[in-house]
Structure 1
């Protein structure tokens, strides 16, 4: 029975192989397989009416773009130039109180209307320090430094008029320096004192934006290497 099954499978495979060979299938009168689908052609509606034509828009798009490119570039350049017209910004400072009237007068003479500039003020805090010294020599300074190190206090050497001396801290207000000095005295520091390093001040700048070309030219002309009042491009 198994032998019969094997023979039947062999005959079936040979038949399938013969059916796939066009020459053998034609000689035996077997139907040949078709890889095409002719039924799709039969479903077409008036295939002879189909015509391929170029698109007019696509054909004319390139000339129109090429012709309009120079105009668009010119318009963009003109718009960019216009955006900078009257938008120049200059500022002067930091100014001392005596220089503010001079800077204001320069703006008026350049044709800037009152209110066409801004006065920018910034408070610069002073600096105070807790200092020790001045010592008579470096040896005395080193002895005092060793004492402070035993108290685990950080110090730096003073410079300028306070040298040779030691600085036990810098502060932005006199009150903060006095409070720290009280704490140091409780820890055994006896000869330290509060000294002023720099005084607090107000920094003033005059800023004028949207300047006309004429005003811009006049203000720049006032800026010489030795001029007491100098105008420069505004900072961001």
Structure 2
């Protein structure tokens, strides 16, 4: 009886050894495979892995957390003046592009502009000769804003006729004899666009309104 029991145990051990070592796999008897080679294919840049020392780990723990890039602060911008027709088109575009309350269209006035004027000259050669003469006198000059006054020169622009007259008298003391005061631009009234707090997102949306802005540049409200 003991011999039979020992023989059974021996056969059982032999069978277990053969099963665990895959010797019975051809007959459909084998333990479940523990290897998972598909996980190797899922690794992302395993060569970039690094083993850190205790000092490296402490340094990483104490390092400050990365912060988002600072965004420019919103600023007040304005553009204008716009005629009634331009204002209507601009309002329509603004209402469909920017949030309500982020912009306003307000009545505005652009004051008249007076200049100390020299011209009109009969040719570009005559204009060039006058420029050279003014340089010789040490008198500065600037281009004209109103093309209807060209070819000619401005010796300075002013917000009132009285101020321009005073500057004309000063120019005469320096040898300027043929200048006069004229109104280069009359007073204008219209609508002024104002954006009290234009951030980067608002400025990006305004790119879609170039046509409605009619070439009027956006400027700082403090300019």
Q: TM-score range, shorter-chain basis?
A: 0.3 to 0.5
TM-score, with structure 1 as normaliser: 0.36
TM-score, with structure 2 as normaliser: 0.37
* Structure showing the higher helix proportion among its residues: 1
Structure showing greater radius of gyration is: 1
